[in-house]
Homo-oligomer: A and B are copies of this chain.
Amino acid sequence: MAQGLLLVISGPSGVGKGTICKALRERNHEIVYSISATTRLPRPGEVDGVSYYFLSPQEFLEALEKGDFLEWAQVYGNYYGTPAWFVEEQLAVGRNVILEIDMQGAMKVKQTYPHGVFIFVLPPSQEELARRLIGRCTDAKDVIAKRLAAWKEEMKTIDNYDYAVVNDEVELAVKKIEAIIEAERCRVARRNRD
């Protein structure tokens, strides 16, 4: 059986990664989301192995030492990581796994799993990105200003990605990602890995 693809969907915050990933999964039920591991406590309704893998700090650090994460980070005193075991299990049975992640995380994944398909989601323009960040109303003005300042720096990392998809319309962006999946399945370099 052909290996599945690890689709790493990244791009600046506010660009619409989440919306794209949701629409992509709604149209392609065979794609699975990567499940993260975390040391933070479960919130009401969160299920271990579905929402997250909930690990104790000791368990997390032991897994980290064994190289069990594709990437990891510490945020507000809690650890978060992408477990290699889940991704590898799914890929081995031919399922495509989607990993929606910030750009720093994506570049860490590239180091540990260079065979992933790295997709950078672009806003139609910097102006549109600003409009969307403001439209979300979840961020303070100074946060938005900082994000836009970071934007130019972030754009420099695009060369590390395989594909760039402009999110002008969600449906068009999703169709492009579907085409990328189909094309990647035909790549000779992947035939030889199977």
Please name all residues of chain B whose beta carbon is closer than 8 Å to the beta carbon of A58 when the two chains form the complex: none
A186 touches which of B163, B186, B187, B188 (Cβ 8 Å): B163
Please name all residues of chain B whose beta carbon is closer than 8 Å to the beta carbon of A180 when the two chains form the complex: 179, 182-183, 186
Q: Which of chain B's residues has its CB closest to A191's CB?
A: B164
Chain B: minimal CB distance from A118 (Å): 9
A188 touches which of B161, B175, B182 (Cβ 8 Å): B161
Q: What CA separation (Å) do A102 and B153 show in the bound complex? A: 46
Q: How large is the interface on A (under 10, 10 to 19, 20 to 34, 35 or more residues)?
A: 20 to 34
Contact A192 B162 (CB under 8 A): no
Chain B: minimal CB distance from A31 (Å): 16
Q: What CA separation (Å) do A161 and B148 show in the bound complex? A: 41
A162 touches which of B163, B182, B187 (Cβ 8 Å): B187
- The 8 A CB mask of A165-194 against B (1 = contact, 0 = none) is 100000000011011101110111001100
Interface flag for A159 (CB, 8 Å): yes
Which of the listed residues A176, A186, A188 has the most CB atoms from chain B within 10 Å of its own CB?
A186
A-B interface, 5 closest residue pairs, ranked by CB to CB distance from nearest: A183-B183, A179-B182, A179-B179, A163-B186, A180-B183
